[in-house]
Amino acid sequence: MDYRVEHDSMGEVRVPADRYWAAQTQRSHENFKIGVGIETMPREITHAFGVLKKAAALANHELKPEKMTDRKLDVISAACDEVIEGKLNDHFPLVVWQTGSGTQSNMNANEVIANRANEIAGEKLCHPNDDINMSQSSNDTFPTAMHISAVLVLEDKLLPAAQGLVDELKRLEAENADVVKSGRTHLQDAVPIRFSQEISGWRSSVERDMELIRLSLAPLKELALGGTAVGTGLNAPKGFDEKVAQQVAQITGKDFRTAENKFHALTSKDEIVFAHGAVKALAADMMKIANDVRWLASGPRDGLGEIRIPENEPGSSIMPGKVNPTQCEQVTMVAVQVMGNDTAIGMGASQGNFELNVFMPVIAYNFLQSARLLAESIISFTVNCVVGIEADRD
């Protein structure tokens, strides 16, 4: 492999010649060989850094045009667009298990964007710190990336997945309005209930969880950017925080705004804790729905056998014809993972010492994993199970 020599405040570092990252990224890559290739910083965070770095360049161009020139803005914006589109993912190798402020991931973004911008410019025009990180600090960029990525994954992935399940449950309700069965409490027979009413309970639970997730979005849309190192805004021009939030909103199409109190925004992760609590509520209800479905489909001869679910794959290596409720089982496993992640997020959020929380990478990793897994789990459950549920009317 060919290498080039990069420099930082500590001296020389050899970097793979075909990578856009530079000295500080390489140091982190060498010093934190923990979960390499498995637990890399989530791509949602990489995407969010592309968004916020472009927004910062646009705001700086307006406030400090003598430093953020037209030419610099053009090439930085082009490089950021490639980060946003995922074209440069291979140049973001760092793992979650790094500094608790996410400093190395911020520098990874600064170095990649600077080197790609310089390549586009055909000259060494942009510096990672002086230009890409202008008016910023790792301490306000990483919490900003956390909030951007959280809003995007909830609004664009998890909520649509949940809505798809709600739509299918509404169809099932209409199809089973005339089916009367036994209600059950304590796993024992109770009074009669319509199957459609039972389904309506599932549907309403998911709809309520969606309401709770939507309630959590407004606090998440407040951004720390502009607080810089400790919340005072040192080295950021007056009005930068408001202008950069406006640019983030314009790029994403979401109504982001600057956080009123940057000291809170840097050290407290309560918005993430609250939002993940709503995600956990959805996971808890998905656990209940999946368990109900597999109980009702149990048998088919010696169980409850009240409903039939799709037969997607053989369920045994030694019992021909046996089919298991595998989609229900993946839902319950994902729900358990989300509940475990909630504990990690809560513990991490409690570790905000003085002016900074230094558990942010693990908080972001667990939050994004929960939202992503749950969204994909719900889609799989809907498409491969719910759409094929049939009541055994006899």
Radius of gyration (Cα) for the chain, nearest Å? 25
Quick one: average pLDDT of 203-226? 98
The CATH superfamily label for domain 147-223+261-391 reads Fumarase/aspartase (Central domain) (1.20.200.10)
Span 143-184, pLDDT tens digits: 999 999 999 999 999 999 999 999 999 999 999 999 999 999
Whether the upstream peptide bond of residue 300 has omega within 30° of 0, thus cis, is: yes
Average pLDDT, the chain: 97
For residue 362, which amino acid is it?
V
User: Does the structure show a pLDDT above 90 at 222?
Assistant: yes
In this structure, which topology does domain 3-134 adopt according to CATH? Fumarase C; Chain B, domain 1 (1.10.275)
In the residue annotation, 316 being an active-site residue is answered as yes
Mean pLDDT to the nearest integer, 119-130: 98
- 147, 365 contact by CB (below 8 A): no
Q: Looking at residues 186-191, what average pLDDT do you find? A: 96
Euclidean distance between CA atoms 236 and 225, whole angstroms: 10
Identify the pLDDT of residue 300.
Answer: 81
pLDDT digits (tens, 9 = 90+) for 42-59: 999 999 999 999 999 999
Considering the candidates 186, 216, 276, 380, report the single residue annotated as catalytic.
186
Pairing of strands 3-8, 11-16: antiparallel
Q: Confirm if 24 and 6 have CB atoms less than 8 A apart.
A: no
For residue 176, how many other CB atoms are within 10 A of its CB?
21
Query: Which are the contacts of 27, defined by CB distance < 8 A and separation ≥ 6?
Result: 8, 10, 13, 104
Which of the four pLDDT bands, split at 50, 70 and 90, describes residue 1? confident
**CATH 1.10.275.10 spans which residues of the chain?**
3-134
What pLDDT band is residue 313 in, cutting at 50, 70 and 90? Answer: confident
Q: Given this model, what pLDDT does residue 97 score? A: 97
Nearest Cα residue to 328 out of 272, 268, 388: 388
pTM of the model: 0.96
Residue intervals in the chain for CATH 1.20.200.10: 147-223+261-391
Give pLDDT, residue 133.
98
186 is catalytic: yes
* Burial zone of 324 (CB within 10 Å; 0-12 exposed, 13-18 middle, 19+ buried): middle
Catalytic choice (7, 182, 204, 316): 316
Position 34 pLDDT exceeds 90:
yes
Predicted pLDDT at 365: 98
Residue with tokens 């979401």: 254
Give the pLDDT band (50/70/90) at residue 36. confident
- pLDDT score at 287: 98
pLDDT at 104: 97
| Percent of the residues in the chain that have a pLDDT greater than 70, as a whole number | 100
> What is the C-alpha to C-alpha distance for residues 364 and 267, in angstroms, rounded to an integer?
14
pLDDT of 320 reads: 82
CA dist 45 and 150 (Å) reads 9
Residue 42: how many other CB atoms lie within 10 Å: 21
- What does the DSSP 8-state code read for residue 42? P
Q: What is the pLDDT of residues 320-370, one digit of tens each?
A: 888 899 999 999 999 999 999 999 999 999 998 999 999 999 999 999 999
Residue 315 clears pLDDT 90, i.e. is over it: no
What pLDDT is attached to residue 341? 98
pLDDT given at position 102 = 97
The pLDDT, as a whole number, for residue 317 is 85
pLDDT band at 91 (very low <50, low <70, confident <90, very high): very high
